[in-house]
Amino acid sequence: MLAFEQFGAGPWGTLQLADLGADVVKVEDPASGGDVGRYVPPYQEGEDSLFFETFNRGKKSIALDLRRPEARPVLEDLVRATDAVYSNLRGDQPRRLGLTYEQLEHVNPRIVCCSLSGFGMTGPRAAEGGYDYMVQGLAGWMSLTGEPDGPPTKSGLSLVDLSGGYASTIALLAGLWRARRDGVGCDCDVSLFETALHELMYVGTWAATRGYEPPRRHNSAHPSIVPFQNFRAADGWLVVACPKQKFFERLCEAIGRPEVSADHRFSDFAARDENRVKLLAILDDAFAQRSADDWLSALAAAGVPCARVNSVAEALQEPQALARETVVEHEHPALGTVRTVRTPLRVGEDVRPPERGPFRGEHTDEILREWCDYSPERVHGLREAGVFGE
């Protein structure tokens, strides 16, 4: 597949396919220095960065300046040889650059053209750029996040970008399946904004159907299920989840207060939600008496869902992560040994070994030779014409 992508959301989506064995070829603009992710600090040297490696391991790169008229035939020859054209540009850009199905179907009727943009390819904001932080605010996420008396707060990670990447990949795979079934390709139009709205999930349903206004809760508490939140132990934090009645009853036994589960004020979900302040005062007091390790052992033995609140470094060293070899490594000539987190998509037994991300335009000659059967003389002529940059 050809990927006109940069920064986070788009490269994250195609990374999942690359990790699963797809040939992902980044088409980088030589006039702008290629993918802007190459230059993101703090761990950056020249056109190499750990940011770029995170999103682009196992891909290839060609340089192509679509502003040059000689580049269009090259693009069309590449489209003939591939299954998909993917982009994460502004919503108006695919059409301007000639990357829609209508503009490419004469070259390859089965081509699937997937656009991931901030706001989609239609509507009043189609020509605007959209970034994760902006969309978290616009889609209501920030109003849901943080302490009740604090300011609106973004997620600690760029979850809209990541979710948009996953959503676009799902759309692309559906389009490819349809093209193989019917012999006809299509456009896929995915936006970060609609992805974020979709991920409001039941809160969005409650708001759209009943006008619900979700309050922010202390300690990252669930909006309606109690207890389902963080608790401070004597020496740290843990998460406790009681999404079933049996878990709440086991929790009361584990903290030495079995009578609490029999109290009519806490007898079911609705009662616990109505009386959450009184219940949480009891639980806060109990958890403060012992260490996090003590509580994690006691709750696990009782069958209560729980987890430590880890730092990032601690999370990467969790026994479960180590057992499943979740952190993988590859060598890079400028960055040395790079350790990244593998895709969670485990499909079959074939696991692609991690490979470094491509240098900008590294595979231009190789791809044009193998995909398009270009001679060295033709490649040289295109290079002289500036199609691959100065």
Catalytic residues: 161
What torsion, rounded to 10 degrees, do the Cα atoms 124, 126, 131, 133 define? 20
Q: Is 3 exposed, middle or buried (0-12, 13-18, 19+ CB in 10 A)?
A: buried
Assess contact for 137 and 152: CB atoms under 8 A.
yes
Report the C-alpha gap between 364 and 349 in whole angstroms: 31
Q: Which amino acid is at 25?
A: V
What letters, b where the CB count within 10 A reaches 16 and e where it falls short, cover 189-220? bbbbbbbbbebbeebbebeeeeeeeeebbeee
Interstrand relation of 237-241 and 306-308 (parallel, antiparallel or unpaired): antiparallel
Amino acid 374 reads Y
Rounded to 10°, the helix 71-80/364-372 angle is 60
* Residue that is written with structure tokens 């960055």 in the block: 335
Judge whether 153 and 145 are in contact, CB under 8 Å: yes
List alpha helices for the chain, DSSP H.
9-19, 50-56, 71-80, 93-97, 101-104, 132-138, 141-144, 159-182, 192-198, 201-210, 245-254, 259-262, 269-274, 276-287, 292-302, 312-316, 319-323, 364-372, 376-384
Q: At which residue do the structure tokens 């219940």 appear?
A: 279
What token pair was written down for 367?
């791809």
DSSP-derived secondary structure for 97-156: HT-SHHHHTTT-TT-EEEEEESS-SSSTTTTS---HHHHHHHTTHHHHSS-TTS-----S
**φ, ψ (nearest 5 deg) of residue 107:** -85, -45
Q: Which two tokens stand for residue 218?
A: 């202390």
